[in-house]
């Protein structure tokens, strides 16, 4: 909660101050697919990522007219050390979890980075307050 919620809140506080002074900006917060639904055995993490989505959506409404867009990426199963640490105590391997993803594979950090670049670009100028699930179709299955 300290990092995922309070840290994000404080970052946004100062990002928004700067963006208000410059007249516009784009913020992309890092949530998770579990910020869109629940997942067993990870209640504190899930709660923190739901809080990220609440902050993202509320701040997007607060600052839309000032030219500040605020969205979030919601990564699913991405090849990271953190995923290994979360799944291991649950007795789930990355490969077995990947078999539940419609695309049948683990995502890569570069795929998340590309989505962030898009959301910060002018190509996303009419998008605010939205979660972008980057999860190989997991949330729609």
Q: Which residues are catalytic?
A: 45
- Report the C-alpha gap between 75 and 23 in whole angstroms: 30
Contacts of 66 (CB under 8 A, 6+ apart): 19, 20, 23, 24
Among positive and negative, which fits the CA dihedral 131, 73, 6, 128?
negative
Residue of 43, 44, 54 lying closest to 12 (CA atoms): 54
By the 8 A CB rule, do 31 and 53 touch?
Answer: yes
Contacts of 61 (CB under 8 A, 6+ apart): 129
């Amino acid at each position: 909660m300290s990092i995922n919620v309070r840290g994000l809140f404080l970052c946004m506080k100062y990002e928004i101050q700067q963006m208000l002074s410059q007249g516009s900006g784009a913020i992309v917060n890092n949530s998770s697919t579990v910020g869109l639904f629940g997942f067993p055995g990870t209640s504190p993490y899930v709660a923190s990522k739901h809080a990220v989505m609440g902050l993202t959506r509320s701040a997007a409404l607060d600052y839309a007219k000032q030219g500040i867009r605020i969205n979030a990426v919601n990564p699913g199963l991405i090849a990271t050390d953190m995923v290994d640490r979360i799944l291991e105590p649950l007795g789930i391997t990355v490969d077995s979890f990947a078999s539940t993803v419609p695309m049948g594979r683990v995502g890569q950090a570069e795929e998340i980075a590309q989505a962030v670049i898009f959301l910060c670009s002018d190509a996303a100028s009419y998008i605010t307050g939205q979660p972008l699930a980057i999860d190989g179709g997991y949330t729609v299955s």
